[in-house]
Structure 1
Amino acid sequence: GNRRPSTMSDAVEAIFGAIFIDGGFEQAQTVIIRLYEPMLSQLTAATLGKDAKTMLQEVLQSKHFGLPSYEVVDVKGAAHEQEFVVEAVISKLGVVTTGVGRSRRQAEQEAAQKALTTEAIKNL
């Protein structure tokens, strides 16, 4: 369970809470800004709050293409350590990308992200 995003986020929240209790608001704010500023500075209005599947869908729909299809092509590992392999297919553009993740959703997101970087999508 130590690799689950929810467990990791709970741990980080606890650390920030401990810093707040020990050093006060300003100290917690300083630590949080130092950790997150590099990521926050890279956000753009176009991508703010949007995941790869949403961005891919918006690009395709803006050019009057259908939605990509996502298909689980393989599942590896024991039930508690499964790894999903998903293909994203955009038939009309001849785009097929593969994503791998600890969940189907994570694998779909990776496949969508790879699709966004293909020449076919960039040239729309």
Structure 2
Amino acid sequence: EKHTGGNHRPSTIADAVEAIFGAVFTDGGFEEAQTVIIRLYEPMLSQLTPTTLGKDAKTNLQEVLQRMHFGLPLYDIVEIRGAPHDQEFEVRIDIPDLGISLTGVGKSRRQAEQDAAQKALDSEAIRNLKG
């Protein structure tokens, strides 16, 4: 999997995590499995709000910008590095209305765009908009 990039494929990672939870359940029972799952996911779950539940960074960013009547962000591929089976994408996000220009990186164009959008959401300019 590592040689072909499968170790970064979400379905492969999900299968591995499921197998670990299954092993904990088989070895320690329901309560032990529940403890492990809660310990792993609680930090992520505690940050969910009704406005962000189930939404990715690009969607959240677009909603913030539209709510404030700003134009949509623009995404451009800056560079694609690596062999075809193990590429890394670098994407630039521009939000002209706010003077924001950042880059994101990922194993796919979509992941790089999500990374760039998250960086924009984390930027001081956007944090100030959200109050």
Q: TM-score normalized by structure 2?
A: 0.83
Q: Which moved more, 1:50-59 or 1:26-35?
A: 26-35
Secondary structure at the aligned position of 1:80 is classed as coil
Can you list the C-alpha shifts for 1:69-113, whole angstroms capped at 9, x where unaligned?
A: 111111000001100000111122221110011111111011111
Length-normalised TM-score, structure 1: 0.87
1:94 aligns with 2:89: no
What is the Cα deviation at residue 4 of structure 1?
2.3
Which residue number corresponds to residue 40 of structure 1? 45
Could you tell me how far 1:118 is from its partner in structure 2? 2.6
What percent of counterpart residues are identical? 73
Cα gap change, 1:37/1:120 in structure 2, threshold over 3 Å: closer, same or farther? closer
Q: 1:100 to 1:30 in 2, by over 3 A?
A: same
Question: Is 1:12 aligned to 2:17, yes or no?
Answer: yes
Residue segments in structure 2 that go unaligned for 5+ positions in a row: 1-5
| Unmatched runs of 5 consecutive residues or more in structure 1 | none
SS in 1 for 2:8: coil
RMSD: 1.7
**4+ long deviations beyond 6 Å:** none
